[in-house]
Chains A and B, each alone.
Chain A
Amino acid sequence: MSSFRTSVFRHALRALLLAAGAAALLDSPPVLSSGLPGPGLWPRLSGALLLLCAVLLPSKEPDERSCTSSSLRRALGPVLSCLLWIVLLQPAGWLPATFLSALLACRTGGCSMKESLLVCLLLSAALWLGMEKLLRYSLPQGTLFVLACGV
C-alpha cells in the first residue's frame, strides 16, 4: 500500500511539471508582437525549458520515510481546518471562522478542551486587535450576521 503511495507521489510531480510547462508553452500570447519581442517570449521559453527539465527529472527517490495511514490522518487535521476556515469566512465572518477552525485544529492535534479554548481565544483576540485596531484592515464581517442584524 505504501509503495503505491510513493510511486503516485513520484509520478505526480513529473505530471504536474509537464502540465505546467505545456500550459505555459501553448496558452501564452505569440512570441513576437508587431515585430518586437512580446509578452509571449518569456512564457514560451520558460515553458519549453520546464518541459525539458521535467523529462530529465531524476526518478530515483532519496531515502523515503514511508507514509503510514496514521500520519496521513494526523496531516488531515490542518487540511480540514483550512477548508473549514475558507468555507466559513464569507458567511460567518473572520472572527467565528478563525475561532472555530483553530478549535478544530487544536482538538485534532491532541490538545485538551481547556488548552484549545485558551489558545483559540488568545489567538483570535490578538490578531483581531492587531489587524482591526492597529492596522485598520477591515476583516470580513460575515453575511449571515449582517443579514441577521437587518443592516
Chain B
Amino acid sequence: MKWRIPHSCLAAVWLIFLSLPVVPDVLAAGNNVELSIAFSPGGALDAAARTLAREAEKELGKNIIVQNAPGGGGMTGVARLAKSRPDGSRLAACVTNALIFIPFRNETPYRPLEDVEPLLIFGQASPVLVTQPDAPWKDMDSFLAATRERGGEMRIGVPGLGTPSHIALAVMAAGDPSLKWRFVPFGGPGEAEAALLGGHVDAAASGVLPRIKKGQLHPLMVLAGTRLPALPDVPSLADKGFSDPGRGDSSFILLAPADTPETTLDELSHAFEKAAGSEAYLKILENFSVAPVLKSRQEAREFLRRAWAEEGDILKAAGIADMPAASPEKRDVGAAVPKGK
C-alpha cells in the first residue's frame, strides 16, 4: 500500500487528537480508586457522585477514576461491585432502590445486605410535586380538594412505578379513601414535566429545582420527610402528616465489596464524609433537588437493615405488593437473618 504524505499527516493529526482523553491517565500514577456509578451519565446520582469523588480526591490523596455502569436500575453496577476484589480499589455509588426495592421483587445476582458493605449515605432524592404555573390549584390543600371533587380522574405523572415519589403518593391515597389518582409512569427526567406542560397529566412528581425557581413549574409539596432548604415555603410529607415511606429507596449510597478490611473502609468513609460537607458538593445537590442527608458507615448499615425489614409492609401499604414479580418467594428470603458483622 503506497502511503501518500497527506494520508500520513492525517493519521498523525488523528493520533494527536485522540490523545486528549488519555493524557490525564498518563499523568496520574498508580494508586487509583475506581468508582463506578450504577446509572447513566447526567442524572442526579451521577452528578452528585462525580462531585463527591472530586472533593474526596483532595482528602484521600489518591486518584478516583469515575465510570458509569448503567443497567437494570442499578443492578449491573452493584453486581459487578459484589464480584470485585475487596481491597478498597473498587467502589460503587448507587441509589438504595437497587438494594431494597429491586431485590425484593426480582432475582438479583447479589444479596444486598451481605455482598456489599455500605460506606456512606450522601444524599436523599427529594422529588417535588409540581403543577403548571397557571393551574387552578395553588397549593397542596386545593390540589387535594380538587382530587376529591374529580373522583379519581386526576392524573399524576411519576418517574416510574415503585419509585419513592410514586410510593409516597400511593401511600397517601391508600390512607384516605376519598383520594384516588391515576399514576402515569414516565421514563426519566424531563418526560413527566413535558407531559405536564402539554396537558397530558395534571401534576408531575419530579420537579427539578432550577426550573421551579425560574417559575416554569409550580411546586406543591416535597415528597420526602423534610423540607428542602431551597424551597422553605413548600410543605413536606411530614408537615402534612404523612409518613415518608420512600425513605428507604431514594438515598444515594456509596458501597464497597464485602470483606474489605476495616482500616480501608474507615479511611475511605472519612474522606468521603468530609467531601460531602464541601460547598461545591452542596451546590450540586441543590441543583438536582437532592436533600443533603449524610449518614456515616454505622448509621448507613443500620438504615439499610431497617429499610429492608420494613419494605414488605411499605409495599403492601402502597398497594403494589401484589404487582407481578419474577419470583414472589424472594420476599421471604430477604427476611433471613444476615451474617452478623
Contacts and interface: CB of A to CB of B under 8 A. Distances in A.
The short answer to whether A and B are in direct contact, CB under 8 Å, is yes
Interface of A: 29-30, 33-34, 38-40, 133-134, 136
Contact of B319 (A30, A34, A134, A136): A34
A30 B324 contact: yes
A23 to B, nearest CB: 16
B21 A40 contact: no
B320 A34 contact: yes
Contact of A134 (B18, B320, B322): B18
A29 B324 contact: yes
Given A34-B319, A136-B25, A40 B324 contact: yes
B323 interface: yes
A109 B143 CA distance: 71
B22 A33 contact: no
A30 B328 CA distance: 14
A136 B25 CA distance: 10
B199 to A, nearest CB: 22
A38 B322 CA distance: 12
A134 B22 contact: yes
Interface of B: 18, 21-22, 25, 319-320, 322-324
Contacts of A136: 25
Contacts of A30: 324
A26 to B, nearest CB: 15
A136 B22 CA distance: 9
A30 B322 CA distance: 12
Question: Helix, strand, loop or mixed for chain A's interface?
Answer: loop
Contacts of B18: 134
A38 B25 CA distance: 47
A91 to B, nearest CB: 18
Given A34-B320, A133-B22, A134-B18, 11 more contacts: A29-B324, A30-B324, A33-B323, A33-B324, A34-B322, A34-B323, A38-B324, A39-B324, A40-B324, A134-B21, A136-B25
Most chain A CB within a 10 A radius of its CB, from B21, B320, B322, B324: B324
Contacts of A39: 324
Contacts, number: 18
Rank and list the top 7 A-B pairs by shortest CB-CB distance, nearest first.
A29-B324, A33-B324, A33-B323, A39-B324, A38-B324, A134-B18, A34-B322
Contacts of A38: 323-324
8 contacts: A29-B324, A33-B323, A33-B324, A38-B323, A39-B324, A40-B324, A134-B18, A136-B25
A102 to B, nearest CB: 19
A134 B26 CA distance: 11
A132 B21 CA distance: 12
A42 to B, nearest CB: 13
Contacts of B22: 133-134
A131 B18 CA distance: 12
Contacts of A34: 319-320, 322-323
A34 B320 CA distance: 8
Nearest to B20: A134
Contacts of A33: 322-324
A40 B326 CA distance: 12
A85 B139 CA distance: 63
Contacts of A133: 22
B314 to A, nearest CB: 16
A29 B328 CA distance: 12
Contacts of B322: 33-34
A58 B21 CA distance: 53
Nearest to B183: A36
Contacts of B319: 34
A33 B319 CA distance: 11
A133 B323 CA distance: 46
A105 to B, nearest CB: 21
Nearest to B21: A134
A133 B320 CA distance: 47
A133 to B, nearest CB: 6
A134 B21 CA distance: 7
A119 to B, nearest CB: 13
A93 B323 CA distance: 43
